[in-house]
Amino acid sequence: MHTNDALIVLDIGKTNAKLALLDGDGALLAERRRPNAVLHDGPYPHLDTEGLWQWLLATCREFAARASVSAIVPVTHGATAALVDAHGLVLPVPDYEFAFDFDAAGAGAAYETVRPAYDETCSPLLPAGLNLGRQLAWLQQAFPHDVARARHILMYPQYWAWRLCGAAAGEATSLGCHTDLWNPYTQRYSSLVERMGWQRLLPPLAPAWASLGTLRAEVADATGLPRACQVLCGIHDSNASLLRYLDQDGADMPSTAPRTVLSTGTWIIAAAFGMPLDGLREDADMLANTNALGRPVACMRFMGGREFGELAGADPETCALDDIERVVAQGTLALPCFAATGGPFAGRAGRIDGPAPLDARERYALATLYTVLVTDYCLDALGAAGPVAVEGSFTANPWFGPVLAALRPGQPVSYSDDASGTTCGGWMLRHRARPAPGSSTPVAALPIAGLDAYRRRWLDALRA
């Protein structure tokens, strides 16, 4: 069946990329995935933008045969930007997990001496390249001639929009994502931008939902998509997950009551609507993100998907309730952390205390308990209140929400039916006046004997 007024969401997460074809009512018609590869064949580890581009063109050809596509929306992970001239990249797009060594780059001030204070940006000092400003400063030192050729610095969603339609734009959700480039209080560029001379490279700002233009003729020809197909500005992926929780008047929804959204995937990001920014602490990797409506949101995060994978193993097997009960009863604790990239316990080496898991199901149970405990810790640190909505890949874990609900009896927990957490947000950028598609399912708390004591032992072990 050929569907009119369809939409393509290009969703590039840190681990996987996805193309989703949605109809005018938000129903998923087709979906294709591929790994988001990091290449090591250049001057530094970089993202496989050309491989993604060829996959995008081929998949869009497939989608064009089954639907009349009226728009494409790019959604990507944060802490990533592209330097381009009129023809394309002047340097490969860096992988933010690379160690950007200023000593190896040659003479120049260490990044810590030029970055703005936390009080200005609510952007904590992070390892590797998770502060985008560090990446840009390092590139400027290591490759000055290439950077001098650049015409634009494009945040990663806007890089894909530029490749599709040729228009350059900036957008607040990616700029306001622990980059050091953005002041969440003023919703303007931080002092770092002027200090480093980057103003000339940053294009005009546009809302995430703005149409930047139509497809380049050569892209339309290569994909079979209509030449009138609109390209939207695009959005940071975690902020795409928040869109269904913002009302049409620009206030957090509901405007009078706090609520918390967990955007889950490679990262678990807790966004606490209605909580003040003055309680954020840099040493705990707490930050203010900027939502699509230009409002700061108190957040805390850790690399939950990556850590879950480390604990669950290469061949995870979903556990049963008795596996979780057994891990709790025997007191096996996973103590942070199992990823080297940020979070409230950055710099600690992860370890397992107590009897080791015996099989894949016990490893899955331990991984679930660990990610729930760190999430619970983050929610407490934020002072998060109100209902907790879980978006993204952890909704596929049957125990994550129930165990979290058991630890937080005063906060109802629900699972979104959008397994990516971002597809719905991409659709909503195109259809802002319409209700969000899909629904949420309440999650019942899972009664587990000894769970509160297990949490106390875990917290005591953190302090030991």
The pLDDT score that the predictor gives to residue 104 is: 63
With a CB cutoff of 8 Å and minimum separation 6, the contacts of 41 are none
Q: Distance between CA 413 and CA 409 in Å, rounded?
A: 9
Number of structural domains in the chain = 2
Domain-embedded: residue 241 = no
| Position 107 confidence tier, pLDDT thresholds 50, 70, 90 | very low
As a whole number, mean pLDDT of residues 149-158 equals 98
Q: Among residues 192, 207, 233, which one ends one of the domains?
A: 233
Residues 457 and 314 reside in one and the same domain: yes
Residues 229 and 253 reside in one and the same domain: no
Domain-embedded: residue 240 = no
Q: Distance between CA 169 and CA 161 in Å, rounded?
A: 9
| Position 110 confidence tier, pLDDT thresholds 50, 70, 90 | confident
What stretches of 357-397 adopt beta strand conformation (E)? Answer: 388-392
The pLDDT score that the predictor gives to residue 234 is: 98
Residues 197 and 260 reside in one and the same domain: no
Instruction: Calculate the average pLDDT of the chain.
Output: 93
The pLDDT score that the predictor gives to residue 347 is: 86
Q: Distance between CA 69 and CA 230 in Å, rounded?
A: 9
pLDDT greater than 60 at residue 430: yes
Domain-embedded: residue 239 = no
pLDDT tens string 353-405: 999 999 999 999 999 999 999 999 999 999 999 999 999 999 999 999 999 99
Domain-embedded: residue 401 = yes
The pLDDT score that the predictor gives to residue 253 is: 46
Query: Is the pLDDT higher at 191 or at 432?
Result: 191
| Position 101 confidence tier, pLDDT thresholds 50, 70, 90 | confident
pLDDT tens string 121-132: 999 999 899 999
Q: Tell me what percent of the residues of the chain surpass a pLDDT of 90.
A: 86
Residues 252 and 227 reside in one and the same domain: no
The pLDDT score that the predictor gives to residue 16 is: 95
Domain-embedded: residue 114 = yes
Q: Among residues 211, 233, 255, which one ends one of the domains?
A: 233
Domain span holding position 335: 246-463
pLDDT greater than 90 at residue 295: yes
pLDDT tens string 241-292: 899 888 654 455 444 468 999 999 999 999 999 889 999 999 999 999 999 9
Domain-embedded: residue 238 = no
Domain-embedded: residue 45 = yes
153 neighbors 159 (Cβ within 8 angstroms): no
Residues 87 and 173 reside in one and the same domain: yes
Tell me the CA distances in angstroms from 240 to 11, 29, 201, 385, 415, one per residue in order.
10, 20, 25, 21, 16
pLDDT greater than 70 at residue 23: yes
Q: Distance between CA 138 and CA 110 in Å, rounded?
A: 9
Residues 122 and 192 reside in one and the same domain: yes
> pTM of the full predicted structure?
0.91
Q: For residue 81, which of 162, 10, 17 has the smallest C-alpha distance? A: 162
Residues 74 and 12 reside in one and the same domain: yes
Residues 129 and 39 reside in one and the same domain: yes
DSSP readout, 129-178? T-SHHHHHHHHHHH-HHHHHH--EEEEHHHHHHHHHH----B-HHHHTSS
Q: Among residues 233, 264, 291, which one ends one of the domains?
A: 233
Residue 291 sits in a domain of what CATH number?
3.30.420.40
